[in-house]
Structure 1
């Protein structure tokens, strides 16, 4: 393979705005779960049991996941028919407005039942936005970069996605270290949503100065727009590619859910310090960012098969080692080192878009990726925590075994993908 050319100034500009938008999308999306307890107290009656309040709050949070498949289909359709740039701009605005809106909502005490209904509406709008933003960002960045730089470009973009969770955690840490609980309930809870909304509006303005992707411009010039609904073409002619994209989404989503989202709760059961757990999780998320970059770079230097074998093989080794060493007696230093090690290999999330953009032709690319990604992600987000919780009652290594299964499936997918009709994979 020839040596990849360096990123141009326009490449860097596109990557920066795409990564910033993706980071804000994830930040806005996850900050809701970080403030779930406070939102439950503010937007539901105070005279109902706490477990019902929490259940209702989780239901509003989950609504954002449930609408993602529908939004992915709709936004993917218009991205393939009207242009990548239009939808790329639209999704960040659709996320910024409801996030800013949440920061301005009156509480239950002020307007009664209308408060949770308005919160649910804002949450659904956020879900619609993120369902289109992530796949659109992948395609927008890939189609703006040279083929030999797809891996690094998508790795840098995925850094933004990973960094969104870290940014949310840091903002929440600053909030809770600066204000007491009474101040947070009075006004402090609005600050993170206001920050996200305002930054989203700034990004919306900046994105308008980006150019349409060269790939879509070529589609227009050659009059090659899909003549039917792009999703119809996907389901009729690209089911194998859709299935492979779905498997990769399940695998990468499972890695993030287990390592970044569920693991802190598991560590708390070992009576470890909450401060220690937070620091370890933050450092693991930071290492995930480095993993995104390095695995994307490796794909450009070698090929997708080699990248899959190394990165997902690393998940197998790191996952088994981490959970086999986990015990109440583990030292603080060892926990942090082990968590950073497995966090680095959580950077395999970049392998999903690298594969996805190669499996579908440009005329239906956003629709194909959006449909497979959003549908599988919604299902995975609902069932994986349940499986891990139930399995964990019987086996302390359940999380490790689940990661191993996901890794083996991913490696097999990377090998099979070369034989899929229409695949644009390159050596």
Structure 2
């Protein structure tokens, strides 16, 4: 099962087992800890889009830091097995490879909404001529709250100054031409275009390069929320050229509940100390940081937006996952992810008519590992049935089940078992 393979999907458990047997990434499944069913078997875990599984080595790395803290106290900043002072730098190159960026452009810090606010302080700079902000109508609520509050802080009105792109009547997802059309019509009065690169509800992935080109051509700044894209899609942030991006690391990146997020700031802003920003001492020039001077001198690149020294235990847990991403590589993960979601789509299409509606785009270039499924017949009872059968996926009101077979640890047999439960439910 190589990157150039064309696979003809088949029904039946034997096919799923054959696919797993030839999967070059199959050994990575053993690197994760699965919740257990009552019979001691691992669950089918299809919620990596919400919280990724725990890597086996995460505990070891966290306990290593705990042990260094016990032995060394404050000296752990310099003498720990992995000294704490530069600990976050150990993750920079790995994270940069995950999101397709230069190391200079990436930093692991804070949480997603905090980072979004920090980036908007710098890149949403409305003027009387350009007060507007363009976003998707169906953005994750936290993004909508952040945008509205930032707009109000500038004395503007979110109802008037936030332009929301909506699907056409009767459609579930956005058309690229409608996003570009909004930019074409309103770009001259827009300060910032801000989109999630994968919509949390529909699983639709947007054309970041085209959106960025269109927005920059109109003089707008561009940012993306990669909460459902980092560790999922094969990203190329540097080449696509947005001004910034932010993401969390507890979903596909398996960093642990509520763990640190990440920030991308494009290289062209790397040495622009005049960019307005909220300042903190960890973003100050390392050569003079401990001289404790009163004047802030930002580090070049994304590190210049840091505020405080980062939590080492969270970095230690994240390190375990990023090592696995580095070994697997994003091209290989995306290839397997396309096969897994394609196989799931194939099985769903063979359920009795009317059982399920797939609202995620069928074009593999417009989605990642998530398929969002609408069930109009007893969706809550179906979620209960799945859970009782040892299958974890998540439910969104009023009738959407999101299933995400993450390729680092999900198998084709997992997908097959999920589909068989749906078939049983449909035939009852």
Larger Rg: 2
Which interval holds the TM-score relative to the shorter structure?
under 0.3
Q: Counting helix residues as a fraction of each chain, which structure ranks higher?
A: 1
TM-score normalised by L of structure 2: 0.26
Give the number of the structure whose residues are more often strand, by fraction: 2
